[in-house]
Structure 1
Amino acid sequence: MAKHSYETKKKVVLAYLSGEGGAGYIGEKYGVARAMVQKWVAAYKEFGDEGLRRSRKNETYTFKFKLHVVELYLTTEVSYQDLALSVGINNPPLITKWVNDFRIVGPDALRSKRKGRKKTVKKSNNSTPNEQSEKESVVTSIEHVKQLENELLKLKIENAYLKELRRLRLEEETLLKKQRELSTASEENSN
């Protein structure tokens, strides 16, 4: 994937916004894919110049925020790009990674991982590490149960919808069958 400079992105966006042509024309003129032009324009409209700059900072997001974003993606029919713009993230592939990790591992994949070596000196806390991990697992299991309940509800709704659709199709088929029988009977009577 080719990296484009901020200046190139800005030229392309300004050309598009000034009305020099559509995304396809501008893309051909500057040697950029049409979809990329649209992506840059959307990012520019949402974030201004910062939307076109490549972010060098490692932004960290909370577990709740990540889970919220993943649930938004899974429950709506919005693209990664549109979702990223709506929640203020200038990196749609990050949301893609969160969704894929969530689908493979579950909510635990969205938790931040500690970096570096494990500490060898124990801190004296009132709760032991086992108690802390039990608390975390209880919270995770509660979230997992809620997720499963939501999924079950969605499946029940989908199942009811499909049953109703099938019933309506069967009714329609019987009506068409009756109409055919009536038309063939009227043809026979006319002969």
Structure 2
Amino acid sequence: MSRQVKHSLEFKLTIVNQVLKRNKSLSSISRENGLEQRMIRQWMQFYKRFGEAGLRPHSTVYSLENKLEVIRYFIDNQVSLREACLQFNIRSNSVLSNWLRIYAAGGAEGLSEETRGKKRLMKPKISKKAPEKTLTEHEQVLEENKRLRAEVAFLKKLRALIQKEESKKNKKL
């Protein structure tokens, strides 16, 4: 299943080129295109660091070793989330932020793919219908009586509503 991309590569390149040529200010470009300046700056950083490939969308599954390398770099060098993500070509700060949260809670083991997600236990399926009880003849008669009383009450209410509507029509005429 592929991810929906909000902005095409061509659009991102156009915006980056406008900023590089300094035709317009960053704020005017962001206003004209309905973009946040932060996003344009991020595109600029990735473009300067990785070229056109830095603007291409990509979905990456990171190995445990990669995650730990990024976390160690972040902690050892005391850099910002943005700088660490830029260093390792991670598109979103939230990815690293989530890794750090999981690492703080469960260590390296929490980051491994096997420990992620819901644990699914095989449970026997429970039928949605309650099993029908075998009713005695007396109980069956009582159930049918109850059902018929409800039906009669419904029909009486329906008849009353119809009569009410007819009386409204007659009054208008």
TM-score range, shorter chain: 0.5 to 0.7
**Secondary structure class of the residue paired with 2:113:** coil
Instruction: Name the aligned partner's letter for residue 62 of structure 1.
Output: S
> How many Å separate the matches in 2 of 1:90 and 1:84?
7
**Secondary structure class of the residue paired with 2:70:** helix
The aligned runs of 1:20-59 (5 Å cut-off) are 20-55=23-58, 57=59, 59=60
Instruction: Name the aligned partner's letter for residue 105 of structure 2.
Output: I
- Number of the residue aligned with 2:12: 9
Uncovered stretches (5+) of structure 1, i.e. residues with no partner: 119-191
| Number of aligned positions between the proteins | 114
Pair 1:18 & 2:21 matched: yes
The aligned runs of 1:164-179 (5 Å cut-off) are none
> How many Å separate the matches in 2 of 1:100 and 1:28?
34
- Percent identity, aligned pairs only, is 26
1:20–1:26 contact (8 Å) kept in structure 2: no
Cα RMSD over matched residues?
A: 2.7
Q: Deviations over 1:27-52 (max 9, x none)?
A: 11221111011001111112222221
Instruction: Name the aligned partner's letter for residue 49 of structure 1.
Output: E
Uncovered stretches (5+) of structure 2, i.e. residues with no partner: 121-173
> How many Å separate the matches in 2 of 1:64 and 1:102?
13
**Secondary structure class of the residue paired with 1:89:** coil
> How many Å separate the matches in 2 of 1:45 and 1:101?
31
TM-score when normalising by structure 1: 0.51
The aligned runs of 1:74-153 (5 Å cut-off) are 74-113=75-114
> How many Å separate the matches in 2 of 1:17 and 1:30?
16
> How many Å separate the matches in 2 of 1:75 and 1:92?
18
**Secondary structure class of the residue paired with 1:61:** coil
Distance apart, 1:63 and its partner CA? 2.0
> How many Å separate the matches in 2 of 1:81 and 1:111?
23
Distance apart, 1:91 and its partner CA? 4.1
> How many Å separate the matches in 2 of 1:35 and 1:91?
12
> How many Å separate the matches in 1 of 2:78 and 2:6?
29
> How many Å separate the matches in 2 of 1:13 and 1:7?
10
TM-score when normalising by structure 2: 0.56
4+ long deviations beyond 6 Å = none
1:44–1:50 contact (8 Å) kept in structure 2: yes
Distance apart, 1:94 and its partner CA? 2.1
Higher relative contact order (CA 8 A, sep 6+): 2
> How many Å separate the matches in 1 of 2:61 and 2:8?
25
> How many Å separate the matches in 2 of 1:37 and 1:88?
16
**Secondary structure class of the residue paired with 1:27:** helix
**Secondary structure class of the residue paired with 1:106:** helix
